[in-house]
Chains A and B, each alone.
Chain A
Amino acid sequence: MYRIRHYIRPEQIREFSLIFIIMLAVLFFGTQIDGYYSARTFNRIAASVAIITVLAAGQTLVILTRNIDLSIGSIVGFASYFAGQQLSANQDMHPLIAVGIAIGFGALLGSVNGLLVVYGRVPSIIVTLGTLAIYRGVLVDYAQAKTITTDMMPTWLVDLPRVNLFTVGEIEIRVMVGVAVLVVIAFQLCLTYLLLGRRLYAIGSNPDAARVAGLPARRIVLLAYILCGALAGLGGFMFLVRFGTITVSAGVGLELSAVAAAVVGGVNIFGGAGTMFGALFGAVVIGTLEQSLLRMPNVSEFVRDALLGLFILLAVASDAVILQQLRSLWARWAREARETPAAHSEKESGHAS
């Protein structure tokens, strides 16, 4: 039986334990909310999860390097507003160019974060807490309290949220979900197979050793911030697509959802460990909880936030317990495997030593 420990590590099973948590949550909300099990609920949750997933993917890249990016909520808001403004001014713009504008704008803001962290030698939590406020402030000033509304958008954009990729039974898998899954797969491949991925893990798990090994640590951290900004820009575009209406407070609080998703998904907040699939599962947990609590009858906004926090803590805590159990199980199996051959010769002294 304990041969499987050679092929699967506890950390890999842990990602599946999240699926279990998601199922529990869904069963619970099913009893509380009328008509919860419907394609409509799924689409609502999926649209929210898709955006959180993309943001969590970016956040994961930064967290892997033992840093954090708290500014992405503002980057989402600014990028979506900026892209929306360009689209309303130029209705014939090619969709890919519009996406490119949002991504490029996000990357620009991300590079500011990265440069400050890397060359300013200010702790990333301080830098991005600052830029969180700065980007939002500049957006408010730039927008001059104007709101981007759906009727200013080209029709392709307004129709985009309902574009179907394929249908499973009654459930439609829409283009936003496809984008999120694509991002996760692409970046997971990068983490596994590219130089960048290996270096991100190396820097996060032991920055000193990475420096002595001659890795260009600064450039890699900067790149992580640029990619995180770019993904926040993409998230901003998805935000624009999903809501159509963009105010200056668009995307407020999304940074916390993204960080929570990454951490719930098993990305080590101290860097060096975590996967994109983990972040995806984390985003599903967070998105499901957020959207379902929104539908709960008789739950005020404030109670909702408190419940969300409670659920996140529960998810992380139960996850930690499960992981610990699995690890000790694996260690026991390894011990038993070691002792089995010796048991024949030293039956009595085997345990004493």
Chain B
Amino acid sequence: MQPILKLENISKAFPGVKALDHVEFELFPGEVHALLGENGAGKSTLIKIMTGIYQPDSGQILLDGHPIKIGNSAQAQGYGIAAIYQEPLVFPDLNVAENIFIGHRVKGAFVDWRKMYREADDILARLGVSLDARSQARGLTLAQQQTVEIAKALSLNARVLIMDEPTASLSAHEVEQLFNLTRVLRERGVAILFISHRMDEIFEIADRVTVFRDGQQISSKPIAEITRDGVIQDMVGRKLESFFARNEHEQGELMLSVRNLGKRGIFSDINFDIHRGEVLGFAGLVGAGRTDVGLALFGVEPADSGEIILKGSQQQIRSPEQAQALGIAYVTEDRRQLGLTLPMSIAANISLPSLRKYLSAVGIIRRKAEQATAENYRQRLSIRTPSIWQEAGKLSGGNQQKVVLSKWLNTEPQLLILDEPTRGIDVGAKAEVHHIIDQLAGQGMGIMLISSDLPEVLAMSDRILVMREGQQMGIFNREEATQEVVINAAMGQSRSDVKV
């Protein structure tokens, strides 16, 4: 049988990262093909190439054996390639039928409403769902919105449907309905690319499983030939790079205790301690709720239940201002949006949260002192820039990250929350950041290290807390935490199997 879509020798590089490295991939009609891989394995890049959002650097795409170029999303649609995502892209102010037919070319100047509703009803009936074509998309559940997207794909005669973590925010019942829809599509001969982090789902729905790791295809087998352990082995089979080795140091007294921390619908029952000089790693898949715990501790999105006990006294942290006053600093995952004010200078960015320190008696900002601080950090963290008065937006990712670090170190925190501190920065800068983390812990700072880079968490942390879908799966000591143990917990091995 000929594959509908075939990717040959596809490569795609971004500055500092090889996202896809000579990848081969085939999709056959009437199959559900699961794609597995850790964060950053190249799944998203592959999808974006298939839907025309990215162009491959090399290699070719074959549709029914003929080479094609997918220049943009519209062209992808034209070739019959559609995608639905975890967050459906519906227009809330339009009704279901309008959403289904939004991308179609309408013949003539007027919309034939009656025909449109008839066809929408028809498609929904074929999918076996009861959804009123005239109801507004606003107010539909996430699952219903996904159904609308699937109907849209069907109305476009899609032959390839990409489902990117469609089940991540659905209830068990809704997942079952989605799978029924998926089976309907499979019987109609649609090729489905299915991405999920839930092993059980893969085994339930997939016909074939392909594993990606570090931008390469590692294995591709029919479901009958694979085992759970084998898949996980393929996913993590990465050698621990020669990571910066932590220096041995004494752990100090208890600094932070978190008890039963929860935020409705986001995470619940989080319990951990951080001591002075300790690095507590937070591992898990993207969306597991690790960042949300960090944001709660820093008061950006406060928790609504549980206790935060800082140095023996219980605290209600309601705002970043307050968290800062308590000696907490948060280096955000989203450098460009939340971490830096890009048009402002490096010096102004560093002093921003602690500007009061730089006021003279009459309330004027002392530029000299500000400059001295910035120069100090420039040296300490080796920020490479011609001048500290340069715009922060002009720095490379690694140097921007060092500016964000400087900014928060300058508030002299006792607890430092690092959220993906090395994402998107090059290897050299990464090693430097690791060195800084080790130094800070050595000076007695408590550090919460959220990272999706598994070898990084394993190498840098004293203990590792693993989260999955807002739940704490366990805390592992340095000795017992291996890649397999952590991935297993992150992907939802039942709690009883995990040593806590």
Partner of B356, one of A195, A205, A209: A195
Residues of B with C-beta under 8 A to A209 = 337-341
Report A241 CB to chain B, min CB distance, Å.
31
In contact, B337 and A202 (Cβ under 8 angstroms): no
A193:B365 contact, CB within 8 angstroms = yes
B320 touches A205 (CB 8 A): no
List residues of A (174-227) whose CB comes within 8 Å of B's CBs. Answer: 193-195, 198-199, 201-202, 205-206, 208-216
Indicate if the CB atoms of B355 and A198 lie closer than 8 Å. yes
B342 contacts A213, CB within 8 Å?
no
A185 to chain B, nearest CB (A): 15
Contact with A along B353-366 (1 / 0, CB 8 A): 10110010001110
Q: Does B451 contact A (CB under 8 A)?
A: no
Give the CA-CA distance A194 to B407 in the complex, in Å. 19
For A189, give the chain B residue with the smallest CB separation: B364
Report Cα–Cα, A273/B343, bound state, in Å. Answer: 9
Judged by a CB distance under 8 angstroms, whether B206 is at the interface is no
A265 touches B (CB below 8 Å): no
CB closest residue in chain B, given A203? B341
Q: Is A272 a contact partner of B343 (Cβ separation < 8 A)?
A: yes
> Measured between alpha carbons, how far is A195 from B358 in the docked complex, in Å?
9
Contact between chains at A212 and B338 (CB < 8 Å): yes
Interchain CB contact under 8 A, A198 and B320: no
Contact across chains for B343 and A212 when beta carbons are under 8 A apart: no
Query: A214 contacts B341, CB within 8 Å?
Result: no
Closest Cβ of chain B: how far from A220's Cβ, in Å?
12
- Are B352 and A195 neighbours in the complex by a CB distance under 8 Å? no
Is the pair B330, A212 in contact by a Cβ cutoff of 8 Å? yes
Select one of B321, B343, B348, B364 contacting A214, CB under 8 A: B321
Q: Is B95 an interface residue (CB 8 A)?
A: no
With contacts A205-B342, A206-B341 taken as known, whether A214 is within 8 angstroms of B363 at the C-beta atoms is no
The residue of chain A having its C-beta at the shortest distance from the C-beta of B341 within the complex is A206
CB <8 Å contact, B363 and A194: yes
Q: Is the CB of B364 within 8 A of A194?
A: yes
- Asked whether any CB of chain A lies closer than 8 Å to the CB of B236, the reply is no
Of all chain B residues, which has the CB nearest A210? B341
> A272: which B residues are within 8 A, CB to CB?
341, 343
In the complex, what residue of chain B is closest to A208 when comparing beta carbons?
A: B338
Cβ–Cβ < 8 Å partners of B359 in chain A: 195
Cβ-closest chain B residue relative to A9: B391
Residue total for B at the interface (Cβ-Cβ under 8 A):
27
Taking a contact as CB atoms under 8 Å apart, the answer to whether A213 and B365 are in contact is no
Contact flags (1/0) for B196-215 with A, using CB distance below 8 Å? 00000000000000000000
- Does B355 lie within 8 Å of A212, measured CB to CB? no
B420 CB to nearest chain A CB (Å): 15
Encode contact with B along A266-281: 1 for CB under 8 Å, 0 otherwise: 0000001100000000
Q: Which of A199, A208, A211, A214 has the most CB of B within 10 A?
A: A214
Give Cα A77–Cα B330 distance, bound, in whole angstroms. 48
- CA distance in complex: A199, B365 (Å): 12
Q: B353 near A214 (CB under 8 angstroms)?
A: yes
A195 touches B300 (CB 8 A): no
Q: Does B332 contact A (CB under 8 A)?
A: yes
Whether the Cβ atoms of B352 and A202 lie closer than 8 Å is yes
Contact A201 B338, CB 8 Å, known A194-B365, A211-B300, A213-B352: no
Compute the total of residue contacts between A and B using a CB distance below 8 Å: 64
CB-defined contacts of A273 to chain B, threshold 8 Å: 343
In contact, A193 and B364 (Cβ under 8 angstroms):
yes
- Is B68 part of the binding interface, using a Cβ–Cβ cutoff of 8 Å? no
B323 and A201 form a contact (CB under 8 A): no
User: Is the beta-carbon distance between A206 and B355 smaller than 8 angstroms?
Assistant: no
A-side contacts of B364, CB under 8 Å: 193-194
Interface 1/0 per residue, B102-130 and A, CB below 8 Å: 00000000000000000000000000000
Give the complex CA separation of A216 and B353 in angstroms.
Answer: 10
Known contacts A195-B356, A205-B343; decide if A211 and B363 are in contact (CB<8 Å).
Answer: no
The complex places the Cα of A212 from the Cα of B320 at a distance, in Å, of: 6
B324 CB–A CB distance under 8 Å: yes
A195 contact set on B, CB distance < 8 A: 355-356, 359, 363, 365
The answer to whether B337 touches A213 (Cβ under 8 A) is: no
List of A residues within 8 angstroms of B339 by Cβ: 209, 212
Q: How far is the CB of B144 from chain A (nearest CB, A)?
A: 29
Contacts of B344 in A (CB 8 A): 201-202, 205
Of the candidates A193, A198, A208, the one whose C-beta lies within 8 Å of that of B352 is A198
Shortest CB–CB separation between residue B376 and chain A, in angstroms?
19
* Cβ contacts under 8 Å, A214 to chain B: 319-321, 323-324, 353
A206:B342 contact, CB within 8 angstroms: yes
Q: Measured between C-beta atoms, what is the minimum distance from A149 to chain B in Å? A: 43
B225-236 CB mask vs A (1 if < 8 Å, else 0) is 000000000000
Residues of A within 8 A of B320 (CB): 211-214
**Closest B-chain residue to A272, C-beta based?**
B343
Q: Which residues of A contact B324 (CB under 8 A)?
A: 214
Chain B residues with CB under 8 A of A199: 355
Instruction: Report the minimal beta-carbon distance from B249 to chain A, rounded to whole angstroms.
Output: 30
Q: How far is the CB of B141 from chain A (nearest CB, A)?
A: 27
* A272 to B324 Cα, complex, angstroms: 24
Q: Given the complex of chains A and B, what is the CA–CA distance between A180 and B297 in angstroms?
A: 48
Q: Given the complex of chains A and B, what is the CA–CA distance between A205 and B82 in angstroms?
A: 37
Cα distance, A201 to B353, chains bound together (Å): 14
A339 to chain B, nearest CB (A): 16
Question: Considering the chains assembled together, what is the distance between the CA atoms of A195 and B355 in angstroms?
Answer: 7
Q: Report B-chain residues with C-beta under 8 Å of the C-beta of A216.
A: 321
Cβ-closest chain B residue relative to A199: B355
* CB 8 Å contact bits of A97-126 with B (1 = contact, 0 = none): 000000000000000000000000000000
Chain A residue nearest to B343 in the complex (CB): A205
Task: Give Cα A205–Cα B349 distance, bound, in whole angstroms.
Answer: 12
Q: Report B285-309 residues with CB < 8 Å from chain A CB.
A: 298, 300
- Asked, given contacts A194-B365, A206-B337, A210-B341, whether A215 binds B352 with beta carbons under 8 Å apart, the answer is yes
Q: Mark B314-337, 1 if CB is under 8 A from A, else 0.
A: 000001110110000010100001
Nearest-Cβ distance from residue A39 to partner chain B, whole angstroms: 39
Cross-chain pairs A/B with CB under 8 angstroms, 29 sampled: A193-B365, A195-B359, A195-B363, A198-B348, A198-B352, A201-B341, A202-B344, A202-B352, A205-B341, A205-B343, A206-B340, A206-B341, A206-B342, A208-B338, A209-B337, A209-B338, A209-B339, A209-B340, A211-B300, A212-B298, A212-B332, A213-B320, A213-B352, A213-B353, A213-B407, A214-B321, A214-B353, A272-B343, A273-B343
Closest 9 pairs (CB-CB, A-B): A214-B321, A214-B320, A213-B353, A214-B324, A206-B341, A193-B364, A212-B338, A205-B343, A205-B341
Given contacts A202-B341, A211-B300, A212-B339, 18 further A-B contacts (CB under 8 A): A193-B365, A194-B365, A195-B356, A195-B363, A198-B355, A206-B340, A209-B337, A209-B341, A210-B341, A211-B320, A212-B298, A212-B300, A212-B330, A213-B352, A213-B407, A214-B320, A214-B323, A214-B324
